[in-house]
Amino acid sequence: MIPFARGPVDDQGRPVPNMGFTPREVEAILAPYYERGERLVKLALVFHYFLSLWLATFYGTWTITLPVAASAVALFFFSAWRSPRSFFTRCIAGVSLQTFVALHIYQLHGLPEMHFFFFTAFALMIALYDWRAMWPGTILIMVQYTVFAILTNSGVQVYFFPEPYVEPTKLCFHFSIACMMVGLCGYWTTEMRWQILRQTWQTREIQRLANIAENTRDSIALTDRNGRITWVNQGFSRLTGYASHEVVGQDLINLLHGSSTELSRVMAMREAFSSCGVFACELCLQAKNGQTYWVARSVTPLPEGTVAPGTFIVLDMEVTEHKEAEAARLQLERKLQQTQKLESLGVLAGGIAHDFNNLLTSILGYATLIEMDLTADSELRNPLKQIEVASRRAADLCKQMLAYAGKGRFLMQAVDLTQLVRDTSDLIHASVSRRAVLTFCLTPNLPPVRADISQMRQVLMNLVMNAAEAIGEQEGAIVVSTGVMHVDRASLADTYLGAELPVGDYTYLEVKDTGCGMDEATRARIFEPFFTTKFAGRGLGLAAVLGIVRGHRGSVKVETAAGYGSTFRLYFPCQALPRPTTPPSHSREVLAPSRTLPETRTAITAKQPNHVLPRSSAGTVLVVDDEDAVRTLATHILELQGYQIVSARDGQDGIDKFEAHSNRIRLVLLDLTMPRLDGEQVLRRLHQTHPELPVILMSGYTEEELTPRFADLRLSGFLQKPFTTSDILAKVKHVLETAPV
């Protein structure tokens, strides 16, 4: 049975009076039945009218027949005309019919029994669907016969009472039977009324549910045991693109399920249809136009008695947007994890580079210090030169690690990327194998970007060398392109470092190759430091690219597939800066690519100076550094040049030593990272008491990174670690010469 077969119930399970219909709604529902009953009553009254006239002809009862019959007919017809389908009219119908019954008994001299009245009442209640309509007439007749019985028993002769005496018990017996019959008939007619109301309520409820099912946004379909569609709603047509007449009789599974649907789920759905089971899962389906979409499907057999046996309801709730949002969320989480991992590795790389710079400072400083004391023909000069070369290559490695951490040394200016590529084209040609065809697709008059030219050259060379190594000894092509484009939010979200960048116009640098490409596992790790797929290499080339791009507030887009090459596109925000009027100077220092030719690296290292400054005696210098090797090296170098040195092992020791010798200290060499008091705290305390005191800050971090931290302090100079003997002497001499006396 359907859930609403018995009609509505309240919270305690009791039937709702009148099925929840108002009295006006009940009258409107029963109005057609009342109208039909009134027509039957009219026919019955006309029949009784002519029957009474016919009986009056035989028995000569014209005196009573004509006025009584005419009055009964006229009364009902007038009431039906004035108040059709009303309770009053139904009561008048009962009085009129009972009046005719009494008239017929009178005409027949009492031959019919009183039961005839109640059979008439029974027929009337069936016709009018209202047991209350018979009570006025029945009560009227019962009162009339009671009066006539009393008169008869009192000796007054009543014409249609043939018996000289009416037993009161007999009269009460007839009345009780009459009341019982009327009550039973009333119960039956009440059930008829309830049945009509129940059917009406069920019809309306079914129509309401049908409207809901028809107009719901979700797809609803009815199928048989074989999965053939018997009915679909509008949501099905909207979702699939098929009209109702196109799918009725079609196999639901074969109609919508594309090749992407898993075979196991299709078999499970078939099994549910054949075994009258329940099935629920998420499916990727194919619409009429070929477009795929995701739904959460549930297949449920309907109970017997509601529809045809073996009918299933298939409910599809579209979850395409949810799946896309979930995929976007997972992609964002992966990018966030990747970003956090790269940032963590950047912090680690920066810390390692900082500590390594302190070690290189000792190695490079002592090597240059020893070299200063050697004769020109000394056999130790060449080994020391190799130590110096190795130290500078290690320093170059530290710079790349700092570049990956986004802490490289940047000299920002307006740069035209097209001009940058043109100026670097000779070096690019020299770095690429002759088997690779090198092509430039450069856009002239690009909007400038705020960048460091040397860092941009390093990025370009790293990408070109990476493309050349991907091609290897095979024939291939490398395309270097520049341009400008508008980048929207979706495109930025698909790049590294682009999640927090604003939408707008970006100048791009692109390097595309036809090499071996990368699979997803390799692509996920290409920017990790020290990760490489080559037999030889440090794995810092692309890591440095990402760090430099991060430092320039740009992003990197990577498109690659195994066997189909790779494309690296770097986005840099366009700047409203004046364009460069002259080509960039080639005399500026250029950082070597992470993977370059030995000749190029040798040529770069050969530019380092090797000279000895003259000795001088220029006062006392306070050296504050927690690294014993760096502190000892600086002390040794400066003492050899005639400076008097006061050394301190940490920040607090430096404050104490300065307070003890403040009258003769002319300069402070101050390390940044130290225990107890760091360099910034020491500098601020020194400036509170001696604001004119020259201070040179030493650090493995870059000057550009530290300058904002000391913008409110007067910093005399900065010494980048690792430094050579000439570096520290030149910096100290310059600061002392320019310091106020």
Contact in structure between 443 and 418 (CB atoms under 8 Å): yes
Percent of the chain with pLDDT over 90: 10
More confident residue, 631 or 536: 631
Beta bridge partners of 450: 414
Of residues 590 and 570, the one with the higher pLDDT is 570
- Give residue 121's pLDDT: 57
Band (pLDDT 50/70/90 cuts) for residue 112 is: low
| Among the listed residues 49, 136, 46, 55, the one whose alpha carbon sits nearest the alpha carbon of residue 89 | 136
- Please tell me the distance from the alpha carbon of residue 572 to that of residue 548, in angstroms, as a whole number: 11
pLDDT band at residue 510 using 50, 70 and 90 as cut-offs: very high
In the chain, the amino acid numbered 240 is T
Q: Secondary structure of the chain: what % helix, strand, coil (to 5)?
A: 55, 15, 30
Instruction: Compute the mean pLDDT over every residue in the chain, rounded to the nearest whole number.
Output: 78
Pick the residue with more confidence: 396 or 634? 634
Dist CA 470 CA 727 (whole Å): 40
pLDDT band at residue 165 using 50, 70 and 90 as cut-offs:
low
- % of the chain surpassing 70 pLDDT: 77
Q: Check residue 508 and give its pLDDT.
A: 94
628-649 as b/e: b if 16+ CB within 10 A: eebbbbbbebbebbebebbbbb
Could you report the per-residue pLDDT of 475-492, keeping only the tens digit for each?
Answer: 889 999 999 999 998 888
Angstrom CA distances, 435 to 22, 469, 551, stand at 93, 12, 34
